[in-house]
């Protein structure tokens, strides 16, 4: 598949997702349903979507609902409070703030002044993505056997789970110089309530040690992967993900595989300043 064809196919599939969403603005759609509408792997859909659209699925939904509300303000005399509820807002005040930020007028003023519906506002793309200095290498990676500790909640607090995992592994002789630290993140923080986010803190472990409480054995599949190395604080990793899924993947001629991305932490953050932390983002490919 050529690079141009890959980009065009990805864009066409995203358009199908947006159309599917637009036709069902009042339905509680899941990420799996939306991924299926565009024939994307559920593991990567939210990142591909954010990369190509420049916004999250939830942001697109809000934008489409506000545009429908704008049409309703012009097209009928339905009370603004009812329009606000249908747009997903719990109060007229919240609806007024959101509507004014997009259309430049409060709903009542918009209804009074507008004779025609303006064009649907576009997503806000990040122009700095074009200047980010990343490269992706396609490598054939070996499978990795790990012991994984489930982490629920904010991804930014997974360090606590890594500390607990290391404290358990140390006395058992599992923290050797060649032990690898790996993080697997299953959900989209932008589209999943923070308390429902699922991730796993992992260490490589090829022996037969019995996993502790809340842990399990996992084999991360090998095969072809696109690997991007990010240097800097973990809080800035999203920039590398955006580059990978917005710039590299649609232009690569490649298709993401049906397995989650994982991060491997290549040096010890306790021994180095954040500017020197190195993280490999490993995206499985078909």
Tens of pLDDT, residue by residue over 102-131, are 999 999 999 988 767 887 877 655 555 555
Of 3-17, 36-50, 112-126, 136-150, the range with the lowest mean pLDDT is 112-126
How many other C-beta atoms lie within 10 A of the C-beta of residue 5?
10
**Looking at the predicted structure, is the pLDDT value of residue 267 above 50?**
yes
**Looking at the predicted structure, is the pLDDT value of residue 76 above 60?**
yes
Which of 6-10, 99-103, 227-231 is the most confident on average?
227-231
Q: What pLDDT score was predicted for residue 251?
A: 85
Alpha carbon 21 to its chain centroid, in Å, reads: 18
**What is the average per-residue pLDDT within 88-114?**
92
6-39 b/e (C-beta count within 10 Å ≥ 16 → b): bbeebeebbeebbeebeeeeeeebebeebbebbe
Per DSSP, 157 falls in state G
Beta bridge partners of 215: 149
Q: What pLDDT score was predicted for residue 55?
A: 87
Q: What percent of the chain has pLDDT over 90?
A: 67
Q: What pLDDT score was predicted for residue 1?
A: 47
**Looking at the predicted structure, is the pLDDT value of residue 236 above 60?**
yes
What would the two tokens of residue 102 be? Answer: 């997009």
Q: How far apart are CA 52 and CA 114, in angstroms?
A: 32
Phi, psi of 22 (to 5 degrees): -60, -35
Q: What pLDDT score was predicted for residue 133?
A: 80
* 8 Å CB contact between 173 and 136: no
Residue 252's pLDDT band, with cuts at 50, 70 and 90, is: confident
**DSSP letters spanning 63-101:** HHHHHHHHHHHHH----HHHHHHHTT-SSHHHHHHHHHH
- What pLDDT digit, counting tens, does each position of 37-60 carry? 999 988 889 888 988 888 889 999
Please count the CA atoms within 13 angstroms of the CA of 266 that sit on its side-chain side: 14
Q: What is the pTM of this model?
A: 0.80
Residue 174's pLDDT band, with cuts at 50, 70 and 90, is: very high
Phi, psi of 279 (to 5 degrees): -130, 125
**What is the average per-residue pLDDT within 222-227?**
97
**Looking at the predicted structure, is the pLDDT value of residue 61 above 80?**
yes
Closest to 7 measured CA to CA, from 281, 213, 250, 272: 250
Residue 178's pLDDT band, with cuts at 50, 70 and 90, is: very high
Closest to 154 measured CA to CA, from 235, 256, 48: 235
């Amino acid at each position: 598949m050529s690079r141009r064809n890959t980009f065009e196919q990805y864009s066409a599939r995203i358009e199908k997702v947006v159309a599917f969403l637009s036709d069902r603005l009042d339905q509680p759609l899941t990420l799996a349903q939306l991924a299926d509408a565009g024939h994307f792997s559920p593991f990567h859909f939210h990142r591909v979507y954010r990369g190509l659209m420049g916004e999250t699925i939830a942001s697109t939904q809000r934008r489409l609902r506000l545009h429908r509300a704008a049409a309703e303000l012009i097209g009928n005399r339905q009370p603004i409070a009812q329009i606000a509820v249908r747009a997903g807002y719990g109060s007229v005040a919240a609806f007024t703030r959101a509507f004014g930020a997009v259309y430049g007028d409060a709903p009542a003023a918009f209804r009074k002044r507008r004779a025609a519906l303006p064009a649907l506002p576009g997503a806000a793309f990040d122009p700095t993505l074009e200047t980010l200095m990343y490269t992706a290498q396609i490598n054939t990676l070996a499978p990795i056997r790990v012991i994984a500790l489930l982490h629920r909640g904010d991804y930014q607090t997974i360090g606590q789970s890594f500390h607990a995992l290391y404290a358990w592994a140390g006395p058992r002789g599992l923290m050797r110089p060649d032990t690898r630290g790996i993080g697997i993140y299953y959900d989209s923080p932008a589209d999943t309530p923070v308390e429902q986010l699922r991730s796993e803190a992992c260490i490589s472990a090829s022996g037969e040690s019995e996993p502790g409480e809340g842990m399990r054995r996992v084999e991360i599949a090998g095969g072809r992967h696109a690997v991007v190395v990010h240097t800097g604080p973990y809080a800035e990793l999203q920039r590398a993900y955006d580059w990978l899924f917005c710039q590299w993947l649609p232009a690569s001629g490649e298709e993401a595989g049906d397995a989650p991305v994982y991060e491997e932490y290549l040096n010890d953050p306790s021994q180095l300043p954040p500017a020197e932390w190195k993280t490999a983002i490993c995206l499985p490919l078909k």
